[in-house]
Amino acid sequence: MKPEASTRREGEWLESWDPENEETWDERLAWKTLWLTTFALFLAFVAWFLPSALIPKLNPLGYSFSTTQLYWMAAMPGLSAGLFRLLWMILPPILGTRKMVALTSLLLVFSTLGWGVRVQEPTAPYWELMVLAFLAGIGGGAFSGFMPSTSYFFPRRKQGTALGLQAGIGNFGVSAVQLLTPYLIGFSWLAFFGSEQTISMPGKAPQDVWYQNAAFIWIPLMVLAAILAWTMLRSVPIKANIRQQFDIFGNLDTWLMTLLYIMTFGTFSGLAAQFGLLMADLYGISNPDIVRGTGAAATVLIEGYEVPDVVKFVFLGPLVGAGARVLFAPLTDRTGGAIWTLVSGIGLIVSIAFTIPALTPDTTSAATLDAGFDQFLWGMLAIFLFAGIGNASTFKQMPMIFEKRQAGGVIGWTAAIAAFGPFFFGIGVTTLGPTTFYSVGIAWAVMCVAITWARYARRGAPKPG
């Protein structure tokens, strides 16, 4: 058994911690830290993407926001997450893992509680829901603190698996909140607080629901995560003040890896936040060529066409992307990350190109709409798959390319910039239109494939990883 006393103090901060030293590395402590912080990160992603599960249903619940207002609302958690990640990326050396995870878990409660309260009655002003959407971004910001701090606990040879598991399971929070919401809202016995709502969908009878359940159910778990973090986690002393942490910006690979992670996680987070709205806009209740009117008075204009309920599909994309990140993380430890980043980029080019024709629905008949919807859905799932592979591979590359302290900073920085994905996706779709914006995505992926091959993946590459 490895001597724990030689590697840690009785208090919060570890002593003489060196994961590369097999004789003193406390593997049990490292994995305990991974699982506890992953539990907290899962809940952080729940809080971050809770608005994406609720916003497509605001108008059926009685609100009357425009399509543009809804896209901006869904984009706001991405904007704030990117900003919060710029702060969280410098916290691990300052606060340590224990304080950072515990305090972050408590902060998640505020936006989650707010959505649970304000979804019950369609009376909240637009600005207030935008504030709640902004605060939800704290959950996204946590990623840039949790991931670097976890990397401190593991040797390089295991960081691909450890970070892939943490990020992938954390990403499952996106699909979990989107998958469970349709079920949670139907259980009156869960609604200990608040009143019922009535929701109306085209061609269906009004239904009594309890949307506050989708938010309130997570709050006890967030409090539990804070308690577990405070009582069970320890911190690795990494000496770096804020100015020293900024030395990563003098390294060319910081900027190149940022471009690659925008391609992977930027795509994942952007699509995850906007998937439901885009589906409703193209093939659902928000397309005026398909549905006229709102609520119970809505009429489907295409005979024989069954309007898809977005909540039955929206969780699939994040589920595929998160699953790919978990499954491919161990492969990156065996083969290196660069080759899989190359696969990710090429796969994104092909899958985006496959999806583009479906971004212009053919409303001439139910058959053409059904065919277009199938192509749209499968194309989007393929995009999520290859983005998830790239999420795993880039996080293997960074600890291999950079020294330990810088690797943590680069992980935090790249994650911060890529977290703007939901914001830029929302703005891009509304200003450029889906087809043009997706074409920009192909161009970006082509650029990233070229960078990956030239700098990291080819034989004799300057920075193999």
| Residue 312, number of CB atoms within 10 A of its CB | 10
Total number of residues shown for the chain: 465
Q: What is the mean pLDDT of the chain?
A: 86
| pLDDT tops 50 at residue 8 | no
Indicate the pLDDT class of residue 241, thresholds 50, 70 and 90.
low
Report how far residue 4's alpha carbon sits from residue 1's, in angstroms, rounded to the nearest whole number.
9
The confidence score (pLDDT) of residue 239 equals 67
Q: What is the identity of the amino acid at 463? A: K
Note the pLDDT tens digit of each residue in 38-54.
Answer: 999 999 999 998 998 88
**Crossing angle for the helix pair 434-451 and 338-355, nearest 10 degrees?**
160
Cβ-Cβ contacts under 8 Å for 13 (sequence gap 6 or more):
96, 234, 235, 236, 237
Strand partners, 428: none
Indicate the pLDDT class of residue 447, thresholds 50, 70 and 90.
very high
The confidence score (pLDDT) of residue 216 equals 92
Return the closest-CA partner of residue 317 out of 420, 179, 151.
179
Indicate the pLDDT class of residue 3, thresholds 50, 70 and 90.
very low
Report how far residue 298's alpha carbon sits from residue 204's, in angstroms, rounded to the nearest whole number.
10
| Percent of all residues in the chain with a pLDDT value above 90, rounded to a whole number | 38
Return the closest-CA partner of residue 323 out of 263, 398, 389, 411.
389
The confidence score (pLDDT) of residue 417 equals 84
| pLDDT tops 50 at residue 5 | no
| pLDDT tops 50 at residue 251 | yes
Note the pLDDT tens digit of each residue in 263-296.
Answer: 998 898 888 878 888 998 999 888 888 888 766 5
DSSP letters for 377-439: HHHHHHHHHHHHHHHHHHHHHHHHHS-HHHHHHHHHHHHHHHTTHHHHHHHHHHHH-HHHHHH
Strand partners, 291: 300
Rounded mean pLDDT, 387-393: 93
Question: Under a CB-based contact definition with an 8 Å cutoff, are residues 138 and 85 in contact?
Answer: no
The confidence score (pLDDT) of residue 361 equals 93
Q: Which is more confidently placed, 9 or 331?
A: 331
In the block, which residue shows the tokens 């930027």? Answer: 266
The confidence score (pLDDT) of residue 4 equals 41
| pLDDT tops 70 at residue 445 | yes
Indicate the pLDDT class of residue 132, thresholds 50, 70 and 90.
very high
Note the pLDDT tens digit of each residue in 147-194.
Answer: 888 888 888 788 778 888 888 888 888 888 888 888 888 777 676 677
The confidence score (pLDDT) of residue 64 equals 87
Rounded mean pLDDT, 307-313: 82
| pLDDT tops 90 at residue 201 | no
Rounded mean pLDDT, 91-119: 92
Rounded mean pLDDT, 325-352: 91
Q: Which is more confidently placed, 455 or 8?
A: 455
Rounded mean pLDDT, 211-240: 90
The confidence score (pLDDT) of residue 208 equals 80
